[in-house]
Amino acid sequence: MTKLSLKERMLIGRHPMGAQAPDDRIQNFAEVNLGYSAQIAVEEAQRCLECKDAPCSQSCPVNVKIPQFITRIVAGDNLGAVDTILEDNLLPAICGRVCPQENLCESQCVLGKKGKPVAIGNLERYAADTTLDLRSKREELVKAEPSGKKVALIGSGPASLACAGDLARMGHDVTVYEALHAFGGVLIYGIPEFRLPKSIVSYEINSLKRVGVKFEKNIIIGKTLTINELMKEQGVDAIFIGAGAGLPNFLGIPGEELIGIYSANELLTRVNLMKAYQAESVTPVLDFHGKTIAVFGGGNTAMDSARTALRLGAAKVYIIYRRTADEMPARREEVIHAEEEGIEFVFLAAPLEFSGDEKGWLKSVRLQCMELGEPDAGGRRRPVPIEGSEYSLDIDMAVIAIGNGANPLLRDSPGLKFTKRYTLEVNPETLETTSKGIFAGGDIVTGGATVISAMGAGRKAAQSIDHYLNSLQ
Ligand code: FAD
């Protein structure tokens, strides 16, 4: 293919990804986005200016070689493209779908200064999706000679998956222990099928199995097995804790105990992991049909909960957020998709109290209007209540999606030190905890963050663990 001049590349507009029509997709749980065709992918890839200093790669937490993989797509070499990504990111089909690219790689794309950035996430997804068959027919990663060292990983979210992949590649004997009955952490129990198909997560877990990573489910470290037992009885030489932030926060307002109020975690877990969306499912989930639902929060979890409620038959879904659209932490695409699906956003409003009927069922929420004040420590403008602005909204159900705290199950483990927010204390250079040979990364250290940052931490910890294991005789 003849190479386009700089000017020609800059004349090509960004290609949107095809999606199921809003009216259709709210009737099903199938993936909303449909992916690029080969022709569209190559046209989009041709927009890349191949910047030498690659600001896009620099702003990726795992420094994927973005211009290099995009160049392979232009050449029609999708396997070469995915192999380039895999050098830095083990989960391209997942990250292509869920990374907040607008805040990371795409935010630094030079084309974005005057127009729209290259659709890097869409191209990553294209390279990954079109090579799934080819990849499954070959040895996924080059494995070193067995080191004779055993590593246990606690939790099977992206932090542990990335860590396990690297450690296996280094030749260590790696076992991932998961409390739930399915592997993938939030990727499987939190993010809905319509955004990240379970088959994609299973594919990546199977890729790790093929390079020798062992997976044990239904084992709660700290309960079923303690860290001490792992070390002493199972002969484990090092541990990685990737236990995530799965403890839901609540509003702490009167009436929160009424029937019909869910934490987002409970709703999404029932629907995702226990398949409550399937007609033949026996998983108990309250009946959403024809109901009015209020979801509280402005992050990905709020968007996922609202869109799930809609697909479960809700007649009306509100997202109620105490700041404005500009401060919402959710991925932009999810906000746009939620709006297209008919979800109504109520900004600058905070809940004061829930009210119910004599049988304890939720009936309404009293809201207070807010205005934005000075920025808080995180730089976002603080919501300030407007006196006398309270009003009541009739609702049948509510979902609380205001963030999660660190998983609490390991809090009693001797030697580990936790912060006031119950996240784990680690050495920022090595990710080693206060206990020798025990490392940690992902949401259990940072609090709720992103898939790619958890993976970056997992990879960093793998380097430190390898170094530690090599130092043992
Ligand atoms: P997790 O993914 O939370 O995995 C931790 C695992 O450890 C869990 O499976 C848990 O069961 C297990 N575990 C906990 N304690 C134990 C124990 N004692 N023994 C054994 N196993 C244990 N990020 C994005 O980048 N893009 C998105 O679009 C996005 N959407 C999201 C949507 C939702 C609904 C939620 C909740 C989060 C979303 N995030 C998103 C955030 C992202 O998923 C997390 O930052 C990321 O999954 C953290 O990875 P982790 O490996 O640290 O932990």
Q: Is 222 left (phi over 0), alpha (psi -120 to 50) or beta?
A: left
Mean pLDDT on 279-306: 88
Decide: 187 and 272 in contact? Cβ < 8 Å: no
Of 133-147, 233-247, 302-316, 454-468, minimum mean pLDDT range: 133-147
Ligand 1 in contact with 307 (CB < 6 A)?
A: no
CA 276 to ligand 1 center in whole angstroms:
20
In terms of C-beta density within 10 A (0-12 exposed, 13-18 middle, 19 or more buried), how is residue 145 classed?
A: exposed
Ligand 1 in contact with 221 (CB < 6 A)?
A: yes
Ligand 1 in contact with 242 (CB < 6 A)?
A: yes
284: pLDDT strictly greater than 70: no
Give the bridge partners for 240, in sequence order.
Answer: 153, 439
pLDDT bin (cut points 50, 70, 90) of residue 143 is low
Q: Residue whose CA is closest, atom 24 of ligand 1? A: 450
φ, ψ for residue 379, nearest 5 deg: 90, -5
Count CB atoms within 10 A of the CB of residue 52. 6
What is the distance between the alpha carbons of residues 49 and 301, in angstroms, rounded to a whole number?
35
Ligand 1 in contact with 101 (CB < 6 A)?
A: no
What is the distance between the alpha carbons of residues 345 and 363, in angstroms, rounded to a whole number?
20
Report DSSP state, residue 81: H
Ligand 1 in contact with 155 (CB < 6 A)?
A: yes
Q: Which atom of ligand 1 is nearest to the CA of 404?
A: 36
Token reading at 220? 């709660």
Predicted confidence (pLDDT) per residue in 126-140, tens digit: 999 999 999 988 865
Out of 33, 104, 186, mutate this one to test ligand 1's pocket (max ligand atoms within 8 Å of CB): namely 186
What is the distance between the alpha carbons of residues 444 and 442, in angstroms, rounded to a whole number?
6
Q: Which atom of ligand 1 is nearest to the CA of 160?
A: 51
Q: What is the pLDDT of residue 247?
A: 92
Give whole-number Cα distances, 183 to 50, 264, 389, 394, in Å: 37, 19, 46, 39
Ligand 1 in contact with 300 (CB < 6 A)?
A: yes
Q: Which atom of ligand 1 is nearest to the CA of 301?
A: 34
CA 403 to ligand 1 center in whole angstroms:
12
* E-only strand ranges, 38-183: 150-154, 173-177
Ligand 1 in contact with 461 (CB < 6 A)?
A: no
Q: What is the pLDDT of residue 92?
A: 94
Ligand 1 in contact with 297 (CB < 6 A)?
A: no
Q: Residue whose CA is closest, atom 27 of ligand 1? A: 98
38: pLDDT strictly greater than 60: yes
> What proportion of the chain, given as a percentage, has pLDDT over 70?
96
What is the distance between the alpha carbons of residues 105 and 127, in angstroms, rounded to a whole number?
17
Closest CA to 211 of 138, 307, 310: 138
pLDDT bin (cut points 50, 70, 90) of residue 277 is low
Out of 300, 319, 328, mutate this one to test ligand 1's pocket (max ligand atoms within 8 Å of CB): namely 300
CA 155 to ligand 1 center in whole angstroms:
9
Helix runs in 255-352, H state only = 264-272, 300-311, 332-340
CA 32 to ligand 1 center in whole angstroms:
22
Predicted confidence (pLDDT) per residue in 356-365, tens digit: 999 999 999 9
Q: Residue whose CA is closest, atom 41 of ligand 1? A: 450
CA 157 to ligand 1 center in whole angstroms:
5
Q: What is the pLDDT of residue 1?
A: 64
pLDDT bin (cut points 50, 70, 90) of residue 275 is confident
Cβ-proximal residues to 87 (8 Å cutoff; 6+ apart), any chain: 65
Ligand 1 in contact with 262 (CB < 6 A)?
A: no
What SS3 state is found at 294? strand
Mean pLDDT on 321-332: 93
Ligand 1 in contact with 268 (CB < 6 A)?
A: yes
CA 367 to ligand 1 center in whole angstroms:
31
CA 433 to ligand 1 center in whole angstroms:
19
Predicted confidence (pLDDT) per residue in 416-442, tens digit: 999 988 899 999 999 999 999 999 999
Closest CA to 337 of 374, 362, 310, 297: 310
Cβ-proximal residues to 198 (8 Å cutoff; 6+ apart), any chain: 188, 272
* Straight-line distance from the first to the last Cα atom of the chain, in angstroms, rounded to the nearest whole number: 55
Report DSSP state, residue 67: H
Token reading at 368? 């207070």
Ligand 1 in contact with 161 (CB < 6 A)?
A: no
CA 443 to ligand 1 center in whole angstroms:
7
Q: Which atom of ligand 1 is nearest to the CA of 268?
A: 34
Q: What is the pLDDT of residue 406?
A: 85
Number of H helices and number of E strands within the chain?
18, 18
Q: Which atom of ligand 1 is nearest to the CA of 155?
A: 7
Ligand 1 in contact with 178 (CB < 6 A)?
A: yes
Q: Round the average pLDDT of the chain to a whole number and report it.
A: 93
Decide: 33 and 58 in contact? Cβ < 8 Å: no
Ligand 1 in contact with 251 (CB < 6 A)?
A: no
Q: Residue whose CA is closest, atom 47 of ligand 1? A: 186
* E-only strand ranges, 170-315: 173-177, 214-216, 238-241, 247-248, 261-263, 292-296
Q: Per this entry, what is the length of the chain?
A: 473
Q: What is the pLDDT of residue 473?
A: 65
Q: Residue whose CA is closest, atom 22 of ligand 1? A: 155
CA 264 to ligand 1 center in whole angstroms:
13
Q: Quote the radius of gyration of the chain (alpha carbons, Å).
A: 23
